[in-house]
Amino acid sequence: MTTLNAQRPTLNQAAPAAYLLHLADNALVLGQRNAEWCGHAPILEEDMAMANNSLDLIGQARLLYQYAAERLAGDVRAPRGASWPAGAITEDTLAYFRDVPDFRNYPLLELPHSPPLVPAGVGDRDWSVTIARNFLYSALMVLVWERLQQSADSQLAAIAAKSLKEARYHLRHARDWLVRLGDGTAESQRRAQAALDWLLPFTDEFWTASGHEAQARDNATGVDVAALRADWDALVNDAPGRRPGLHQPGQAGPALRAPGLRAGRDAKPGARPPRRHLVSHRPRPAHESNQCPAPVQRAPAAIH
């Protein structure tokens, strides 16, 4: 197993293995999604940038899976999946041999790179969807990794210190592209706005702690993610700067900053807000909505 120099001198507490898997699954799933752009990015430089982004995320997942595998291998009470291969539990066991329901990642991270479609629909990859998702998730993970550097689990704190540097770059990269799309053509602005309108409701799941997140929070090895909500809102609202041509979902006309996220969350209890507000932890299924933007058909680029 790769060992990092931890910032804390001793291992005072051990983070729950399920919490380590949650962090690892998030990184793995998004890393694999972003890797789908390799050879298909809008410009050559972004082929390399998105590939590096994926390598960073999968590298984070490897460290977390290695640590979780070490923990599970040392716990005779830990359940073993029926489909797991015989022998020692490894990072590959956890990444490749667990069943779908056993993954603990946010659903946001597994969505395809396309606007909302009917179930089983297939659409073109949309760069705006990828950028918006990376921006929203990276804003969260910068805050999470910052605080996990103080985890009572010294190995997790060391992983956090390494991952924080990468998350900051991912946030800067996505933020710069979001500004570029918002300040670009009418088409790029429309796509970026549609991506944010589609993805923002999925972020409500960030603030609902699962059992393993609550356990990690209570033994000081994890983070109280719900307490990060105000900081995340401020970071997402302010980060793109002063000129993006994007606005709050449902708001008429451009705003000076990135899309605001407070509308539906501030609705009075019992009130039925307009559909544009973020009122549930899970978005309404695409096939039930008549407001889903249709995928844009692009003509093949001419070769000269």
pLDDT digits (tens, 9 = 90+) for 214-232: 999 999 999 999 999 999 9
pLDDT-derived band at 178 (thresholds 50, 70, 90) equals very high
Q: Which residue has the higher pLDDT, 12 or 162?
A: 162
Domains of the chain by range and CATH? Answer: 17-265+276-286 (1.20.1260.10)
pLDDT-derived band at 289 (thresholds 50, 70, 90) equals very low
What is the mean pLDDT of the segment spanning 175-192?
91
CB 119 within 8 A of CB 286: yes
Q: 39 pLDDT exceeds 80? A: yes
* CA-wise closest residue to 238 among 218, 219, 260: 260
Q: What was the pLDDT predicted at 122?
A: 57
What is the mean pLDDT of the segment spanning 139-161?
97
Four-point Cα dihedral 220, 226, 227, 232, nearest 10? 120
When the pLDDT of each residue in the chain is averaged and rounded to a whole number, the result is: 77
> CB under 8 Å to 8, separation ≥6 — which residues?
150, 151, 152, 154, 157
For 284, the enclosing helix (H) or strand (E) is none
Q: 142 pLDDT exceeds 50? A: yes
Q: What was the pLDDT predicted at 247?
A: 56
Number of helices (H) and strands (E), helices first, in the chain?
A: 8, 0
pLDDT digits (tens, 9 = 90+) for 263-288: 222 323 233 222 222 222 333 333 33
Q: Which residue has the higher pLDDT, 92 or 270?
A: 92
Question: pTM of the predicted model, to two decimals?
Answer: 0.76
